Amino acid sequence: MVLPGPATPRPSVVPKAPAWVRERRAVRVFLTDERTRTTARLVVRHGSYVVRGGGILAKRGWDGRSTARYERMMRTAEAAGQHEQALEWEVRAAAFRAARHQRRMDLLTSPIRVAKNAAVGVGATAGGLLGLGVVLAIAEKDITDVVTPIMTVIELIRWSVVFVSIVWGPLVAVAPWAALLAMWSVGRRRQAAPAWTLPTTQSSTVGEPITPSIVVKALRDLGIAPLRNAIKDMGDAGAGMLGPIRIAGCGVEVDVTLPSGVSTNEVQGRRRKLAENLARHEHEVFVTIPTAARTVRLWIADSGALDEPIGPSPLVTDQDMTADLYTGRAPWGQDLRGDAALLSVHQRHLLITGLSNQGKTAALRALALWLAFDTSVEFRVADLKGVGDWRMFNGLATVLVQGPSDDHVIEATHMLEEGVREMERRLVLLEQSGSTDGVTRDMARTDPRFHPLLLLVDEAQMAFMCPAVGDDKRPYGGTKATSRYFMAARKLHNQGRAVNVTLWQGTQDPTNENLPKLVREGAHIRASLALGSEEQARMALGDKAIDGGAAPHKLRQGADRGTVVVAGDGVKLAPGQAATTIRTHYITGEQAAEIAERAKARRAGVTTLTAVAPAEGGPDPLADIAAALGDAVRLRTQEVLQRLAAANPGEYREWNFGDLKAVLEGAGAAPYKSDGQMVVARAKVLSALADRDADAPDDDGE
């Protein structure tokens, strides 16, 4: 017996959607289909070409028949503050109106002149043809040839009428389409269509040559309303804001005179957007401020040009390289224009900063290697990184400290303090010589006591961060006036250059903790590689350079390794510029060693020490202030300074109220006002001394 299986379920019947639902779905599918969108963009784009192209042609025609163009030029010149140019355009407009009035007056008498000229022309032509007929009749001996020329002309006129009657119809039919084609062509050339309708193949592409129209559009679309409105009012004269576009190295340079109401800071603050509007990366556009008022200077690199390496250093290629500290300039690299970037380091303190692994040591070392070819220069080098970046100066430098420990920082501090003592000895000699201009070039070359002395500290942030304390209870590191390294650097900055003693420092991550303000502002040349923030950039180069367009924080970490932004003295700057960007030559360690060997061959044997004997009985500012106070309960700050200078002129002669205040505030004994005068309290100073002695570690380090 076969049992019946389960019954097969009948398929459920899906009810048919109403017609209006099906129509709505069909419309939605049609509208959202990519082919529909493409067709719509095509129709809108080409329709806009025709409509806006017609508007452009109409505007051109109106400009040719009216003074609209002259008025627009006058508004542009007035907005840019160019009043002489505005007056010139006003004179041109008046001349145009006078000529137009004369043409209209001539139209009143033109019918009579035309009729007269026509009658004379017809008579002359008929007479000429009749004379020609007479000549033909005589030649052919046939009287009927007299009218042959006239009949020939009449026949030509008849055939011309026949030809025109044949082609007139097609011309009338084609003329509107030809006009539409002309308007479409003009609109297409001007890309006169909404941006969303333009195909990607017609938009600006990377590497497109920079033209005035591209620059004007980029400025118009920056999002600055007064600038956009001013350009809109200028119309086709928007390029009137631009100076000539000049080839400048691997890019172009152009000055832009901004209209009234637009500040240079607004354009600088939109550097990224400006670069994107120009189809460039942010690092390929530099915005600086020249001397002219309300003007920005744009340097726009060729796409990808800044990623290409520059050539080798002349130190590598020129085996006969020489150097002269007094008259020469170090070949450091190339500026953005592609010109050689040369740096004068004579009597100039130098500071170079940047993030780690950006080429700081290589850039600093390249300058020192060039200077090594001047045999009169003495080097004392402290490499607080200690990985051998400066080992080639063994045999070139009289002192070479290499290592990152506190002991190495102590040796570097002793090196600077010995430099201070050398500076003070030279100051005494200079005073005895009666010179009022410091050490001159001739004096330095004839008197070996004033030879150039360069103190160089790489990774100087290690010195400021060092916690070690000396036997005199003064810390080696730190950023207060009690810091031995800090005070030695300050003294060198204050007086060193006058006697040919200079200080070069390289440091990472410029902050107030790693690089005190008084130290960084004492450098004549301040250079910075890539940094992480604008705040760091301001600490590295100063507010003036950053406000003038310098932007080391815009450099790409890694990709722009070796590129430095330089501010201050010693480097050639364009008028009005506060900083310049240099792509430094990279010298490898092997090449640096070979260059150093060539420099050593030109010198007598140099014995290199790895340590400097510390000075005995070094100054202790806080203790000296206490001694200067004597038994007085309080003493005016000016009198304290005078007593300090009298007791130790070499140490305190150049001190001012700021120096005194820094020491006392750092010790917790700040000056205060009493009876309207700033005074120092003896009790506070003695208490600060007692606290310092109590907090100082014992000799065994406990």
Spell out the SS3 assignment of 131-192.
Answer: HHHHHHHHHHCCHHHHCHHHHHHHHHHHHHHHHHHHHHHHHHHHHHHHHHHHHHHHHHHCCC
Q: Identify which of 606, 608, 595, 574 has the alpha carbon closest to the alpha carbon of residue 330.
A: 595
Q: Which residue has the tokens 């005190």?
A: 516
Contact 596, 369 (CB under 8 A): yes
How many beta carbons lie within 10 A of that of residue 101, not counting itself? 10
**β-strands 285-288, 251-257: how paired?**
unpaired
Query: In the predicted model, what is the mean pLDDT of residues 61-72?
Result: 78
How many beta carbons lie within 10 A of that of residue 325, not counting itself? 23
pLDDT at 81: 62
For the cut 90, the answer to whether the pLDDT of residue 44 exceeds it is no
- List, for residues 626-646, the tens digit of each pLDDT value: 888 888 888 898 888 888 887
- List, for residues 474-506, the tens digit of each pLDDT value: 788 888 777 889 989 998 998 898 899 999 999
Amino acid in the structure at residue 494? N
pLDDT at 650: 65
pLDDT at 402: 93
Least confident span in 2-11, 99-108, 397-406, 664-673: 2-11
Query: In the predicted model, what is the mean pLDDT of residues 585-595?
Result: 92
Query: In the predicted model, what is the mean pLDDT of residues 433-442?
Result: 74
Least confident span in 21-30, 320-329, 438-447, 544-553: 21-30
pLDDT at 449: 85
Report the SS3 class of residue 311. coil
Highest-scoring range by mean pLDDT, 122-126, 199-203, 537-541, 654-658: 537-541
What's the DSSP call for residue 266? Answer: H
pLDDT at 162: 86
Query: In the predicted model, what is the mean pLDDT of residues 98-120?
Result: 84
pLDDT at 392: 93
The confidence band for 412, taking pLDDT boundaries of 50, 70 and 90, is very high
pLDDT at 76: 67
pLDDT at 99: 86
Q: Which strands, in side-by-side order, build the sheet including 677-681? A: 634-636, 677-681, 672-674
Between residues 268 and 500, the one the model is more confident about: 500
pLDDT at 574: 72
Query: In the predicted model, what is the mean pLDDT of residues 682-690?
Result: 85
Report the SS3 class of residue 44. helix
Query: DSSP states of 50-67 as a string?
Result: HHHHHHHHHHHHHHHHSS
pLDDT at 654: 72
φ/ψ of residue 529, rounded to 5: -90, -160
The proportion of the chain whose per-residue pLDDT surpasses 90, expressed as a percent, equals 18
Least confident span in 221-235, 341-355, 523-537: 221-235
- List, for residues 349-397, the tens digit of each pLDDT value: 999 999 988 889 999 999 999 999 999 999 999 999 988 899 999 999 9
For the cut 70, the answer to whether the pLDDT of residue 42 exceeds it is yes
What is the average pLDDT score of the chain? 83
Query: In the predicted model, what is the mean pLDDT of residues 611-639?
Result: 79
Query: In the predicted model, what is the mean pLDDT of residues 26-32?
Result: 72
pLDDT at 595: 93
Query: In the predicted model, what is the mean pLDDT of residues 163-170?
Result: 85
φ/ψ of residue 255, rounded to 5: -95, 135
The confidence band for 10, taking pLDDT boundaries of 50, 70 and 90, is low
Axis-axis angle for helices 225-234, 212-220 (nearest 10): 140
Contact 376, 444 (CB under 8 A): yes
Between residues 233 and 398, the one the model is more confident about: 398
pLDDT at 202: 43
For the cut 90, the answer to whether the pLDDT of residue 250 exceeds it is no
pLDDT at 1: 45
Query: In the predicted model, what is the mean pLDDT of residues 81-99?
Result: 80
Query: In the predicted model, what is the mean pLDDT of residues 443-457?
Result: 87
pLDDT at 203: 41
- List, for residues 544-559, the tens digit of each pLDDT value: 888 887 889 888 888 8
pLDDT at 695: 61
For the cut 70, the answer to whether the pLDDT of residue 278 exceeds it is yes
